[in-house]
Chain A
């Protein structure tokens, strides 16, 4: 089994790479952070008896992606699974934020994800089942004031993934969309989850079990995975409550949490 993981040096990427290592899958890892990428590659090779290749790449830059694809083609690597983990978020009000940073959310979360998905689909192992995981978010279920661009970019992934899944069913490709709540991956996410207080705590998913279940569900042909019972209830409520009401409630909550978070810094 050959697995391509983007964003492999980050929290969720590392957890999934660990999970793949435990299952004995060979991996091709990429991330913009070259040093971090080499660290996780070393860590995986020391722990598991698997082949790990890694190449740093800026997925938002087509030339950088082409360079990585050249490496892949040079060795004729063919894949059985693609884990699209790379993504980013900047919180805060729309007009208060830097213009280019906002655009970057969409160019990485959406444009770059399309680019790499297309490229790796073309390099899937012929005649074998293929699996893709997109990382959307619980945020994709609601309109989210103060996280508007991020939530909308995740909504794009959710809708795109579900449609693409239908398109590629006949090609023996399964696509799972992961919609987690918060996950404690870095010191910063820990701070922001703490700032959200009670709701931050109860919507937080344990990283290790999310990683394991994601691979299990992707392999067994599931479509959407929302980890945690409460998160499933919340995502159901998102479907039946009028969207303008949800936006009002979420604005109120985020405003409180973010002012608390900013006060701490």
Chain B
């Protein structure tokens, strides 16, 4: 059975994707922060499909030591039960913040969770992914367009604007996917970004201020059900031959920002490697 890791799997898009993938016969490992939400999610998944293979791991991925810890737990699980193979990693966990808040390392929280956590977790799970010729899928957003990475001020320390920070973190997701393909395509790894569209989830209502909360409460009513993006994730996981594209919406390839170049991806890799104190290799074409 093929194993898939999904972060942020206890609610919203992550939960729906976990549900869909268990129904298709994948073994799903969910990562989420709150124990209560995890057991609720597990109940929902099992109620829809009593034979589902679902295991939850608890971690607050915003904090790097938590990423290290949970990655070790997952690797142990994979080695014991899955021959050390991970078929897909879905980096879905994300957040919105109204104010400039920092993680333990002093990194801005949206950048830390939406980008750096995926960057570090993917690195830690890379051996298992390479073994299975796996796929890495990020939950992106159409909002990655119309912005450049603020290289001199990535953490947006001056004039923090929640929306700019969010847009930038989503651009980082797609640059990360681009960089992964540049480095690991030769090893059989493929990375994708899914644009979920406007989805009715609670992302803008968690730990945000009144204004963001209010705007999101109104806006999410026009959103689609999380089942819609879940189908795109399932599509990318199910294809026997990995699709060639990078950015997908409604199971179809889509155009992405012109900022997404190998040069910018390299720059992001260099910066993120420094902030995570790791070093991604580059697999040479044989």
Contact = CB atoms under 8 A, between A and B. Distances in A.
Interface of A: 9, 11, 14-15, 17-19, 22, 35-36, 39-40, 42-44, 46-47, 184-185, 187, 190, 193-194, 201, 204, 206-209, 212
Contact of A194 (B103, B105, B210, B275): B210
Contacts of B100: 15, 206-208
B99 interface: yes
B106 A43 contact: yes
B275 A36 contact: no
Contact of A14 (B102, B209, B275): B102
A44 B106 contact: yes
A36 B105 CA distance: 8
A101 to B, nearest CB: 25
B282 interface: no
A120 to B, nearest CB: 22
A194 B205 CA distance: 12
Contact of A40 (B98, B104, B275, B277): B104
Interface string B103-144: 111110000000000000000000000000000000000000
B105 A39 contact: yes
A47 B157 contact: no
Contacts of B254: none
* Main SS at interface, chain A: helix
Interface in B196-215: 207, 209-210
B102 A11 contact: yes
A252 B231 CA distance: 52
18 contacts: A9-B104, A11-B102, A15-B102, A18-B102, A18-B157, A19-B157, A36-B104, A39-B63, A39-B104, A43-B107, A44-B106, A46-B105, A46-B274, A47-B106, A184-B99, A206-B160, A208-B100, A209-B159
Contacts of B283: none
Given A15-B100, A42-B105, 16 more contacts: A9-B104, A14-B104, A18-B106, A19-B157, A22-B157, A43-B275, A46-B105, A46-B277, A184-B99, A194-B209, A201-B209, A201-B210, A204-B209, A206-B160, A207-B100, A208-B158
Nearest to A39: B104
A38 to B, nearest CB: 9
B101 interface: yes
Interface string B47-76: 000000000000000011100000000000
Contacts of B99: 184, 190, 204, 206-207
Interface string B253-286: 0000000000000000000001101000000000
Contact of A187 (B207, B274, B277): B207
Which of A190, A193, A201 has the most chain B CB within a 10 Å cutoff?
A190
A14 B210 contact: no
B275 A47 contact: yes
Nearest to A44: B106
Contacts of B207: 187, 190
A42 B65 CA distance: 12
A10 B218 CA distance: 34
A257 to B, nearest CB: 14
A18 B102 CA distance: 10
B95 to A, nearest CB: 12
Nearest to A14: B106
A11 B101 contact: yes
Contact of A184 (B101, B105, B157, B159): B101
A193 B210 CA distance: 10
Contacts of B107: 43
B43 to A, nearest CB: 24
A15 to B, nearest CB: 7
Contacts of B64: 39
A88 B210 CA distance: 26
Nearest to B209: A201
A43 B63 CA distance: 11
Nearest to B65: A39
Give 5 closest A-B pairs by Cβ, nearest first.
A43-B105, A39-B104, A184-B99, A43-B106, A208-B100
